[in-house]
Structure 1
Amino acid sequence: MKLNILGLAEVGWTWAGSMKLGSKTLIYSRGHIHERGVGILFNVTTAKSLGSWCPILDRVVVAKLVAKLLNLGIIQGYAPTSDSEDVEVDKFYEKIEKAKGYLKSQDIIIVMGDLNAKVGDERVEDVAQWHRDCK
């Protein structure tokens, strides 16, 4: 399988950082304990476009890829489950908004990750889902 960018949840390292994994580059954001954590893995070609990145929270990391016409902002998130307290859920969405603040309005912004969403058959505004019949 050929991947340029892969979003990760439940990354096992503490704090935040970046590392080389063979020819790939991993950026990650974690807390001080081994829970939660997110990361973005880039192949060697895509990593060359990595302009900047910022760990926002143990559940959110943002990366900016520099391109010729428009830059690409990638926000990787790991949302709390529906069993979580409302305060924790609200904090997560506040951090997603904060991550968007690191990007320019003309950047293409992709929010991805484990959003612990419950998706039905109805269309929800501003949400894209992959249909099971698509190849």
Structure 2
Amino acid sequence: MDRYHINILGISECRWTGYGECKTEEHSFIYSGLEEGSEHRYGVGIIFKKKNKRTVGGMETG
């Protein structure tokens, strides 16, 4: 992302189950998929620089 000057990146076909956030020093990854124990399909995610957290906002689960 840094190499191509990308601040926010959407990921389709993220195959993780559940939902959550993973963090590094400079980036965060928010993901949402099917319930735990389900197939590893239909998930999505967003990777963004931490400085853009206010732009991304939060995540609602339903």
TM-score, normalised relative to structure 2: 0.71
Return the alpha-carbon distance in structure 1 between the equivalents of residues 15 and 26 of structure 2: 20
Residue type matched to 1:12 in 2?
Answer: R
Gaps of 5+ in 2: none
Contact map agreement 1:28 1:55 (CA 8 A) in 2: no
How is 1:109-120 mapped onto 2 (pairs within 5 angstroms)? none
Aligned identity (percent) is 35
Contact map agreement 1:19 1:26 (CA 8 A) in 2: yes
Gaps of 5+ in 1: 57-135
Query: Counterpart in 2 of 1:67?
Result: none
How is 1:1-135 mapped onto 2 (pairs within 5 angstroms)? 1-31=4-34, 32-47=38-53, 49=54, 50-55=56-61
Q: Which has the larger radius of gyration?
A: 1
Task: Say which structure, 1 or 2, has more relative contact order (CA 8 Å, 6+ apart).
Answer: 2
Runs of 4+ in 1 over 4 A off after TM superposition: none
Return the alpha-carbon distance in structure 2 between the equivalents of residues 22 and 12 of structure 1: 24
TM-score, normalised relative to structure 1: 0.36
